């Protein structure tokens, strides 16, 4: 999909065409970056098209870099259209309306779509993206930019020639985890995949690493037995990787390990304690109302005391707001720690 090393960009060598008066100083986008969600959206729309239409047309939204050389497509939506034998008509009204709606939600995205008159993307040339979805073959995406073409100036404003540009599908960090989950469903019959817990994902990751290690060790033993060709590059790479293992003292490891495990256990215990405290205080508050007014104040003051002793095990020594009435009854029993500054 767009091998960008060996690409000849056809528009660049051309001098800016002196045809259009206002479009002459524009630099054409050199490359296009696609975000996976736009691609998925297009695929989804393609599978929902009415039975008699062969294709779907829509608008791309995205951002443009400062000098216009990089365009990134981040979103898209479909626009209904009708096809006749000679030309393809789009519902421009719908398109304008949807654009309006989308811009309200994401005001930074800019229109990037080709339309017959060239308006809407003025003064930058429009970007066109086609995705082929023929069943049985690969799904291929191609991007083009429009360039004015025409014999005379007026004709040039109306028609466009599309020049292919290299494109790239970028998967950013956050999408990777989602993508992995989605891809997990592709090997199953019903194409569904349940959400996995953390432990399951961890298990899968460890299995993958074990598999990779197995392959590498097989290769190395084969090379030692002279069954496989050796490769200095691979050897160097393996050396570099193995050198990353840290050299630490055994006591340091033990100590760090114990500290970390204790940290985790401590916070877990703390969270559960707080949960119990809050549960208890809520229950006391709602249950004690039957015992009358004074006892109510005492009991809720009591659990205030209990809760604050739970907090003392907490982290920051910031000032906690003291409870009101209950404290006055128990001012004598301040408890350990010098935190009870106020009486």
Partner 1 sequence: MATVPPAESPVREVQLSALVVMRLIKHSTQVWPQPATGCLVGMDVGAQLQITNSFPFPASNPDNTTGNPNATNPADPYHQADQLALALAAPRAKSSVAYQNEMIKYLREVNVDAQGVGWYVSCSMGNFVNASFVENQAFYQRATGEQTVALVFDVGRSSQGSFNLKAYRLSPSFMAACKENKFTTESIQKSNLRYQDILIELPVAIHNSHLLTSYLHQLPTSPTADTDLALPASLNELHRNPHLASNPLAPNLDNLDLSIDPFLEKTVDQLLDSIEAHQTEQNNAQYYQRSLAREQAKIQTWQLKRKQENALRVQQKQTPLPEDEWQKLFKLPVEPSRLEAMLVGRQVEQYARQIDGFGAVVSGKMFGVRGNLLPGEAA
Judged by CB under 8 A, the chain residues 242 through 261 that form the site for partner 1 are 245-246, 248, 250, 253-254, 257, 260-261
Among 27, 65, 241, 268, binds partner 1 (CB under 8 A): 268
Least distance between partner 1 and beta carbon 226 (Å): 15
Would you give the binding string for partner 1 spanning residues 281-310, x where CB under 8 A is met?
xx--xxx-x---xx-xx--xx--x--x---
Least distance between partner 1 and beta carbon 141 (Å): 10
Residue among 16 and 313 whose Cβ is closer to partner 1: 313
Q: Is 320 in contact with 298 (CB distance < 8 Å)?
A: no
Nearest 10 degrees: CA dihedral of 220, 225, 227, 230?
A: 50
Cis ω on the peptide bond leading into residue 123 (within 30° of 0)? yes
DSSP-based three-state secondary structure for 237? helix
Q: Is 73 in contact with 33 (CB distance < 8 Å)?
A: yes
Q: How far apart are CA 141 and CA 162, in angstroms?
A: 15
Residue 111 within binding range of partner 1, rule CB under 8 A? no
Residue among 101 and 161 whose Cβ is closer to partner 1: 101
Judged by CB under 8 A, the chain residues 120 through 149 that form the site for partner 1 are 133, 135, 138-139
Q: Is 64 in contact with 31 (CB distance < 8 Å)?
A: no
Least distance between partner 1 and beta carbon 279 (Å): 6
Judged by CB under 8 A, the chain residues 8 through 47 that form the site for partner 1 are 35-37, 39-41, 43-47
Nearest 10 degrees: CA dihedral of 63, 64, 70, 76?
A: 40
Residue among 22 and 229 whose Cβ is closer to partner 1: 229
Judged by CB under 8 A, the chain residues 169 through 188 that form the site for partner 1 are 169, 171-183, 185-186
Spell out the residues 6+ positions from residue 114 whose beta carbon is closer than 8 angstroms to its own. 121, 126, 127, 128, 146, 160, 162
Residue 313 within binding range of partner 1, rule CB under 8 A? no
DSSP-based three-state secondary structure for 198? helix
Among 324, 329, 331, 335, binds partner 1 (CB under 8 A): 324
Judged by CB under 8 A, the chain residues 47 through 76 that form the site for partner 1 are 47-50, 56, 74-75
């Amino acid at each position: 999909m767009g091998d960008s090393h060996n690409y000849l960009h056809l528009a660049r060598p051309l001098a800016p065409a002196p045809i259009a008066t206002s479009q002459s100083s524009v630099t054409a986008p050199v490359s296009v970056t696609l975000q996976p969600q736009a691609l998925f959206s297009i695929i989804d729309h393609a599978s929902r098209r009415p039975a008699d239409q062969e294709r779907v047309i829509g608008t791309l939204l995205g951002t443009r870099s400062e000098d216009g050389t990089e365009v990134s497509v981040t979103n898209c939506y479909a626009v209904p259209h009708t096809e006749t034998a000679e030309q393809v008509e789009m519902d421009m009204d719908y398109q304008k309306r949807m654009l309006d709606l989308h811009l309200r939600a994401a005001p930074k995205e800019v229109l990037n779509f080709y339309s017959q008159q060239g308006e809407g993307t003025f003064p930058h040339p429009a970007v066109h993206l086609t995705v082929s979805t023929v069943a049985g073959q690969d799904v291929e995406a191609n991007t083009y930019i429009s360039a004015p073409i025409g014999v005379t100036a007026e004709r040039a404003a109306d028609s466009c020639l599309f020049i292919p540009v290299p494109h790239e599908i970028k998967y950013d960090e956050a999408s990777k985890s989602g993508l992995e989950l989605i891809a997990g469903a592709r090997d199953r019959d019903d194409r569904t995949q349940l959400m996995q817990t953390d432990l399951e994902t961890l298990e899968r990751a460890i299995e993958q690493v074990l598999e990779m290690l197995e392959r590498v060790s097989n290769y190395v033993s084969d090379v030692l037995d002279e069954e496989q060709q050796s490769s200095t590059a691979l050897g160097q790479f393996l050396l570099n990787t193995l050198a990353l293992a840290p050299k630490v003292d055994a006591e340091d490891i033990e100590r760090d390990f114990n500290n970390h495990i204790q940290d985790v256990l401590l916070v877990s215990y703390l969270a559960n304690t707080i949960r119990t405290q809050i549960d208890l205080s809520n229950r006391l508050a709602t249950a004690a109302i039957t015992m009358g007014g004074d006892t109510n104040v005492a009991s809720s003051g009591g659990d205030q005391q209990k809760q604050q002793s739970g907090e003392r095990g907490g982290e920051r020594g910031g000032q906690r707001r003291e409870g009101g009435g209950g404290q006055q009854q128990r001012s004598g029993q301040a408890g350990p720690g010098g935190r009870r500054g106020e009486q």
